[in-house]
Structure 1
């Protein structure tokens, strides 16, 4: 009895594997229908935008995107290159936006003199913008835009 159950189980696994491989052509892969024994030429890496133009966010609470190159920026326990422009003390000179005041708060909401250790490694949340087309359509509208549209609609109704 036990052997017949194991045989039945093995046959069902074999049949499901065969069925899966017969439908493999329908499954999208990262190889784009390139056979497994062929090495595909990788696509070129997109360039990082270096325009210093602030981009609109793609979803609520998205950390701002870095609008410039950051290759070879040193960010470790001793040095944070980002803060050479974005710290409170340097924004007048650099004309870069200051990091959010939330970066100067500890987990209990107390304000600190320096950037909080939990917010020190910028590239954990912030990434450079690449010069590419979006992979999917995004219909997100930020709160500021919604509020402006509402104010304009209210103004138009009054007139």
Structure 2
């Protein structure tokens, strides 16, 4: 048993020594830790890059494919959606939509997974941002060649 313990201790000591030696070798060769931002210097770091703006409020955005959930045409920053409350319902519920001039939530949101009609929003449809996303007025991160079905035919 003592022999195994000594063997484990020697192995640990060798591993630590090799790790320290490779760190010294890396420092001597000019190796350095590189930042995720690449070669961008820290000078001017107090200047934040320009943020993309939320798209201005509108009455809806076009959909790109059949069955696409409607996009949110306004900011939702600070909206609270949890088990107890849903800020979206203050405008989009059937009782408030007319006075707020907002789009009513779809009747499909009142059906559960078995197709049963409910008197309130189905738990599967309660968390709006699972499917609906707000749009920012920003340039795309990558090129996109997506074309809606109508334009392909």
Scaled by the length of structure 1, the TM-score of the pair is 0.58
Q: Which runs of 5+ in 1 are unaligned?
A: 151-159
**Secondary structure at 2:53 match in 1:** coil
Residues 43-67 of structure 1 show CA distances to partners (whole Å, capped at 9, x for unaligned) of 243221124240545x997643311
Residues 10-60 of structure 1 show CA distances to partners (whole Å, capped at 9, x for unaligned) of 2343327965992644xx61486445xx78223243221124240545x99
Aligned residues: 142
Residue 115, structure 1, aligned to residue 124, structure 2: no
Corresponding residue for residue 3 of structure 2: none
Residue 136, structure 1, aligned to residue 142, structure 2: yes
- Structure whose alpha-carbon radius of gyration is higher: 2
Residue 54, structure 1, aligned to residue 61, structure 2: yes
Give, in whole Å, the separation in 2 of the partners of 1:138 and 1:23.
36
Higher helix share: 1
Superposition CA RMSD, Å: 4.1
Q: Which runs of 5+ in 2 are unaligned?
A: 1-5
Corresponding residue for residue 69 of structure 1: 75
Scaled by the length of structure 2, the TM-score of the pair is 0.59
